[in-house]
Amino acid sequence: MDTTINQKPEPTPFYRWMVLIFVSLAMFGNYYIYDSIAPVFDLLSSQLNFSDQQLGLLYTVYSVAAIIVLLIGGFIIDKFGTKKSILAFALICLIAAFITASSPDFYIMMIGRFVLGIGAEPLIVAVTTALAKWFKGKLLSLAFGLNLTIARLGSWSADLSPGWARPFYENWQDPLWLATSIAGVSVAGALLYWGMENSAEKKFSLEKAETEKFELKGLYSFSKSYWYIVALCVVFYSTVFPFRAFAIYYFQQAHGLERDAAGILNSLLPLAAMIATPLFGLWVDKVGRRSLFMIVGTLILFPLFLVVTYLPPGPLIDVTIPLIGTGSIPLTLLIVMVLLGISFSMIPAVMWPSVAYIVEQKRLGSGYSLMTLCQQVGMAAIPWLIGFTNDLFSASPENPEGYAPGMWIFTALASLGLFFSFMLWKTETGPEAHGLETITTRTGIGAKKTEE
C-alpha cells in the first residue's frame, strides 16, 4: 500500500523564519531580565543598603537554581513538547521578574532571582530544541546564530537602559518594573510560537529534535581534551560573567563614571559578541588551530584586570550610541573592554563547537550537559566571592583600592584558563589529538582522529 499520498510536506520558509522570530523574542526578554539587575547595583547599595556580598548573591542564587533544573530540564521538554515548555518557562521568568521588583526585602529579591534561574536556563534549552526541530538540514547554524544575536540584544539593551530609560533610574524599583514589562515580550513570543506551531502541525511534517540529557553512564571515559575544555569553560565564564555583573557598579565606584557611561562601557561585551563571534567561527572553520585560538583568547584576557586596576585611566573619550546618548570614558577602560570583548567572542566561538570533534555523537548530549552544569557551578560561586571580597576590603568610592583583591581573583582565574588552554593545545598537537588543530572546511571531518 502506498503511504506517500498522506505524507505531509516540510514546513515552508515563511513558517520557519516566523518561528525563529517568535522564539528569539522569548530569548530577548530572558536575557534582558537576567542582566537588568546590574545597572541598579548602585541604587540597591545607596537606597536599600545592600552590601557587595548581597549583590553578588543575586547572581549566585540564579546559578544555583540553574544547576538544579538543568538536571531535569531536558526530560520536561521531552514530556510536554517545545511549545508548552517555552510558554511555561517564559511565564516563570515573568513571575520571577515580578517577584524581584515587588519588594525591597533582600530575601524576596533572592527568591525572585532563584525563580528566574528555574525558568531562564531551561527556556534556552527549549528554544534550542525548537530551532533544531524546525531548521534541521535547513540553515540550522544560521538560525542558531541569529537567535543568539537577538538574545544578546537583550543584554545590550539592559546595559544601555540607564541611557534610553533614564527617567526610570530615579529609584531602584522602576528599572526592575521595566524589566518585568519586557518579560512580557518573552511570554508574547512564546504565545505566538504556540499558535504558529499549532497551525503548522496540521499542515506540515515536523521532526522531533532530541534534547540534551545528562547521563552519568560513561562519564569517566571522556578524554583529557574534553576535560581541559570543561575546565577552561568553567574558569572563563566564572571570570567574564561575574565581572560583567559588577562592571557597571565597579566603574561607578572605583573610577567615578556616570551610570550612563558605565552602561555604555559594559555594553561593549554583548555588542562584540553579536558581531565578532560568528566571524571568529568562520575563521576557525577555515584555518583550524582551535586550541591555539583558545590560548590566544586567554592570553588577551589574562592581563586585563590588572590593567584596569593599576594603569592610569588615560584621557576621556566621548563614545556616542545613536538614540541612547554619549558617555565620557577613560581610554584605558575603553581599550580593556574592547580587548575583553574580543576574548569574549573568540573563546566561546571556538570552545563550544570543539566538543563535537572530541565527543562521539551518541554521547554529545551528555558532554554538553555536563559542561553547562560545571559552568553554572563556577558562576554560582564567584559572584558571591567577589562581593564578599569587596566587603572584606571595604571597597568604596573613598577606598577604590579595596576593589583590587577582587581583580586579583579574576586574574587568577584567567591564569588557570591560560593553563588549561595550553594543556589542551599540548594534547591536541600530540598522539592523542582529535583534530582540533587540523580539521578545516577544506580537510573535512576525515582529518579527525576519533575518540576510542
In this structure, what DSSP letter does residue 303 have? T
Q: Measure the CA–CA gap between 201 and 182, rounded to whole angstroms.
A: 29
The 3-class secondary structure across 103-167, one letter per residue, is: CCCHHHHHHHHHHHHHHHHHHHHHHHHHHHHHHCCCCHHHHHHHHHHHHHHHHHHHHHHHHHCHH
The 10s digit of each residue's pLDDT in 333-354 is: 999 999 999 999 889 888 887 8
Supply the pLDDT for residue 447: 47
pLDDT at 3: 45
Q: Which pLDDT belongs to residue 452?
A: 35
Buried b (16+ CB within 10 A) or exposed e, 199-209: ebeeebebeeb
Q: Which helix (H) or strand (E) holds 318?
A: strand 316-321
Instruction: Tell me the torsion sign for CA atoms 157, 161, 163, 164.
Output: positive
Residue 2 is predicted with a pLDDT of 46
pLDDT, position 179: 97
pLDDT value for 320: 82
Cβ–Cβ under 8 Å, residues 87 and 194: yes
User: Going from the N-terminus, what domains does the chain have, and what CATH number goes with each?
Assistant: 8-211 (1.20.1250.20), 214-452 (1.20.1250.20)
Residues of the chain with pLDDT under 70: 1-6, 73-74, 136-141, 204-220, 323, 361-365, 440-452
The residues, any chain, with a CB within 8 Å of residue 157's CB and separated by 6 or more, are 32, 164
Task: Name the 3-class secondary structure at 436.
Answer: coil
